[in-house]
Amino acid sequence: MSKYFVVAHVRVDEHPGSKFSDNPGAKELEKRLGGPAGLPFFAFLKPDGELIVNSMEPPAGGRKGGNIGHPAEPHEIDWFLEMLKKAAPKMTPEERAEIDKPLRPTSK
Give the range of the structural domain holding residue 74, as residue numbers without chain letter: 16-103
For residue 5, is it within any domain? no
Residue 89 inside a domain? The answer is: yes
| pLDDT surpassing 80 at residue 1 | yes
Q: Whose CA is closest to 37, among 59, 10, 56, 58?
A: 56
6 domain-assigned: no
Contact 99, 81 (CB under 8 A): yes
* Residue 11 belongs to some domain of the structure: no
Q: Considering the entire predicted model, what is its pTM?
A: 0.85
Domains in the chain, number:
1
Instruction: Kindly state the average pLDDT of the residues 32-56.
Output: 91
Neighbours of 43 (CB within 10 A): 20
Q: For position 19, what pLDDT does the model report? A: 67
Q: Per the domain annotation, does 35 fall within a domain?
A: yes
Per the model's pLDDT, the better-predicted residue between 107 and 15 turns out to be 15
Note whether 53 and 86 are within 8 A (CB): yes
Residue 3 within a domain: no
State residue 33's pLDDT score: 93
Tell me how far apart the alpha carbons of residues 65 and 57 are, in angstroms, rounded to a whole number.
Answer: 5
